[in-house]
Amino acid sequence: MQTELSRLLGIRYPIMQGGMAWVAEYHLASAVSEAGGLGIIGAANAPAKWVRDQIRKTKERTNKPFGVNVMLMSPNAEEVAKVIAEEEVPVVTTGAGNPEKYMELWKEKNIRVIPVVASAAMASRMERCGADAVVAEGCESGGHIGESTTMTLVPQVVDSVQIPVIAAGGIADGRGLAAALMLGAKGVQIGTRFVATRECQVHQNYKDCILKAKDIDTRVTGRSTGHPVRAIRNQMTRKYLELEKNGASLEELEYLALGALRKAVIEGNVKEGSVMSGQIAGLIREELTCEQVIQKLITEADALLSGGWMQA
């Protein structure tokens, strides 16, 4: 399956892996790239030295394209941006800010720049500042989210820009991939489905939460702060929502959330940690390899797009 996106990035299939903080490291990124997608290292708040090490370890495992996700609000963003240029990483995705100040640096190295956006207006702005494509991420996603759903956001972003649009949020199988392409996207970005893979290095407790989740098992915290986050409901989300309901201060809420993602991902504390996950978790029932996930996505989507959906 080739699209404008797969040709732009030099990958076999139009499937990108989300740059999830504490989750998306070199084992996962290299496995996704080897399987024909685009693996992504999540830089999050990590120091530049860690990111450089991750990039080099990924290169040792695959000679296929991969990328790094830069959280632009990170205090290390500028140093990480320079490392990406120095290491000539093929693709960079960005979130939590405007990457315009780094565009010239990256473009000089022929790096493809793909910002994650939550609105058509932001997509247009990213196109004007030189983005090669955008990820339109709906609120079904895990982690930090916007307000619009994928179904409504993607076609509006597609209509607002000329560059390729990648759909994200609520996609875990071939039906989601086919639907995204029908909405006008040139590919998809997938996070939660890749967490529940054998190559992903998160604690097994975290994976098990996703594998056992039902369709109604995620909650959104932080709406009162302006920074909503979707995660699987647990002791931590219940306490956070209760504090929000009772008008807790920003300091109280930040204290509760401090280190919560690491607590779940690394330590396996899925009661007090933040088990970030998309709503699609209820569809994920088995831990597969990255190659199995991608092949399943492509096989199912091809069958639907070739007319198989009319048999239903």
Encode pLDDT of 86-138 as tens digits: 999 999 999 878 898 999 999 999 999 999 999 999 999 999 999 999 999 99
Assess whether 193 and 237 both reside in one domain.
no
Give domain status of residue 312, yes or no: no
Give domain status of residue 9, yes or no: yes
Assess whether 196 and 219 both reside in one domain.
no
Query: Residue 43 is which amino acid?
Result: A
pTM of the model: 0.91
pLDDT for residue 153 is more than 50: yes
Which domain, by its residues, includes 78? Answer: 4-201+285-306
5-36 confidence digits (pLDDT tens): 999 999 999 999 999 988 999 999 999 999 99
Alpha helix (H) residue ranges in 62-131: 77-86, 103-107, 120-128
Q: Cα separation of 155 and 136, whole Å?
A: 9
Query: Residue 247 is which amino acid?
Result: G
**Strands 15-17 and 187-190: what pairing?**
parallel
Assess whether 61 and 186 both reside in one domain.
yes
Give domain status of residue 192, yes or no: yes
Assess whether 116 and 36 both reside in one domain.
yes
CATH for 64: 3.20.20.70
The alpha carbon torsion through 72, 77, 83, 88 (nearest 10 deg) reads 10
Assess whether 61 and 35 both reside in one domain.
yes
Assess whether 150 and 234 both reside in one domain.
no
Assess whether 187 and 106 both reside in one domain.
yes
Judge contact between 9 and 33, C-beta under 8 A: no
User: How many structural domains compose the chain?
Assistant: 2
Assess whether 125 and 222 both reside in one domain.
no
Tokens standing for residue 171: 């996609």
In sequence order, which residues have a C-beta less than 8 Å from that of residue 208 and are 6 or more positions away? 270
Q: Cα separation of 138 and 141, whole Å?
A: 6
